[in-house]
Amino acid sequence: MNKNRFSFSGFTFIELLIATIIIGVLIAISVPAYLRHTEQAKGAKALENIQNIFNAEMIYMAENESFSADRAVLNTYSPIGPDDSDWAYSIAATQSTFTITATRICPNNLNYNNLTITMNEDSVITGVPYPP
């Protein structure tokens, strides 16, 4: 019986290197897509909050014949919620007009700090809710 004394089982260095390169390429492709989708979700959240504030303004206007900039008062008409760590909301209101503005807060990535979404009393939305 002649048995091979040297039995190598496992992967060669080249096989491990190729697998590592393939995994690195997959990560390089998927991480930017993931970050873009999370930013789009944050933009959708801001649009939803703006719509909630708009609904509260419309209900307040129907009852009081003017608009309000007080979020605490508007929160009794439609749930608005507090500012979150992603967006800061502000309301500028007069008796006949209002503007809701959501400004992106992003301390780690300065590219997103200039994003704003604005909605007025005619439900016209301006601004880019997320990066393209």
pLDDT tens, position by position, 7-47: 667 788 999 999 999 999 999 999 988 988 888 888 888 88
Predicted structure pTM score = 0.73
Per the structure, the complete domain to which residue 100 belongs is given by 13-127
The one-letter code for the residue type at 3 is: K
**Residue 84 vs residue 102, higher pLDDT:** 102
Q: Look up residue 22 and give its two tokens.
A: 């393939």
Is residue 22 one of the residues assigned to a domain? yes
| Residue 7 within a domain | no
Burial of 71 from C-beta contacts in 10 A (0-12 / 13-18 / 19+): middle
pLDDT at 132: 46
Task: Classify residue 95 by its DSSP letter.
Answer: S
- Domain for residue 2, yes or no? no
Q: Which of 67, 75, 76 is nearest to 49 (CA)?
A: 75
Residue 5 is assigned to a structural domain of this protein: no
Question: What is the number of structural domains in the chain?
Answer: 1
